[in-house]
Amino acid sequence: MAFKTRITEMLGIEHPIVQGGMQSVGYAELASAVSNAGGLGILTALTQPSPDALRAEIERCRAMTGKPFGVNMTVFPTINAPDYKAYAQAIIDGGVKIVETAGTQAVREIWEMLKPHGVTILHKCTAVRHALSAEKAGCDIISIDGFECAGHPGEDDIPGLILIPAAADKVKIPMLASGGFGDGRGLVAALSLGAEGINMGTRFCATVEAPIHDNVKQAYIENDERGSFLIFRNFKNTARVGRSPVSEEVARRLANPDAQFSDVQELVSGAAGRELLQTGDLSKGVFWAGMVQGLIHDIPTCQQLIDRIIGDAEAIIDRRLAGFRN
């Protein structure tokens, strides 16, 4: 049985499962594997060092899959901001028709560039009010991100069990549920709560095709649902990272009410994180990880993972839930 939703119809995919964009992880190897397995794989634009490199990565991904894939564009305030519009132009030039976005209000300039070219905009939000604003601005799909998620969960601390149906009560365009999803139980729950698919990040990091070191994948297995820290709360830029000696040290330093970003900068830099993912040396930096680590127990291929999620979801609906009815 296949799950047919507005998400599968709009994105032209077999299963309502999307691999979220992840910095230093969203390369062609992973994106193409997810797409080939029937989901939607997503390249991460800013993982590439330049717009020209993104153009090349789009072509590399297209050579690895004949199925739809997307590109993530995240716009956050940084010390040395990239040329976001040049990256957006590379997406347009590459003929990509699905773009996942996230970040500040400045992302609207990217939407304005993309929409005239027939691009479907999938926007990630951590609050109902932000989702409604994005819908009003013309976005096509909302990915609603619960507090459980890796990366930036926002500042409201609303878990998915509340956030997803609260958004579904008001948002009219299709929604993906994000944050804490990793198996068939989660997919059925998301559909029950009003979403029409799921967006997974951490779970796809723990797959054979994820282009990160096996030590990092093993850390996802060894950590449980308590295996993450919230950092940067002092700066109203909360981030969830995996538990490790380095993230413990970051949390310790930031516990000081007078802490400054400079106190942890060398531990949380993008360069340090990339080195960690490439070398597997967990002493080099921090790595993104959600609470879903408590549900990760193996390192399957993307095909095996997606097949299992769909099969388990079918069994839950056909047998477990059906068995509760008189």
Give the pLDDT confidence of 57-97 residue by residue, as tens digits.
999 999 999 999 999 999 987 778 899 999 999 999 999 99
Over residues 256-264, the mean pLDDT reads 95
Q: Looking at the predicted structure, is the pLDDT value of residue 277 above 80? A: yes
pLDDT tier at 1, thresholds 50, 70, 90:
low
Least Cα distance to 212 among 56, 73, 44 occurs for 44
Vertex 217: Cα angle to 214 and 219 (nearest 5): 110
57 contacts 43 by C-beta, under 8 angstroms = yes
Quote the CA–CA distance of 270 and 312 in Å, as a whole number.
37
The model carries a pTM of: 0.96
Quote the CA–CA distance of 182 and 139 in Å, as a whole number.
26
Quote the CA–CA distance of 94 and 15 in Å, as a whole number.
24
pLDDT tier at 294, thresholds 50, 70, 90:
very high
Q: Looking at the predicted structure, is the pLDDT value of residue 47 above 80? A: yes
pLDDT of residue 316: 97
Least Cα distance to 235 among 219, 254, 253 occurs for 254
Least Cα distance to 290 among 207, 246, 230, 244 occurs for 230
pLDDT tier at 303, thresholds 50, 70, 90:
very high
173 contacts 195 by C-beta, under 8 angstroms = no
Over residues 239-258, the mean pLDDT reads 96
Quote the CA–CA distance of 190 and 184 in Å, as a whole number.
10
- Token output for 202: 């951490």
Q: Looking at the predicted structure, is the pLDDT value of residue 115 above 80? A: yes
Over residues 111-133, the mean pLDDT reads 98
Over residues 254-264, the mean pLDDT reads 95
The percentage of the chain sitting over the pLDDT mark of 90, rounded to a whole number, equals 96
Mean per-residue pLDDT of the chain: 96
Quote the CA–CA distance of 214 and 191 in Å, as a whole number.
32
| Range 248-257 contact pairs with CB under 8 angstroms and sequence separation of 24 or more | 250/286
- Token output for 143: 């990915």
Residue in this structure with the two tokens 């096996």, named with its chain if needed: 214
The end-to-end CA distance of the chain, in Å, is 24
Quote the CA–CA distance of 298 and 207 in Å, as a whole number.
8
DSSP 8-class letter at 49: S
Q: Looking at the predicted structure, is the pLDDT value of residue 149 above 90? A: yes
Quote the CA–CA distance of 209 and 280 in Å, as a whole number.
16
pLDDT of residue 78: 75
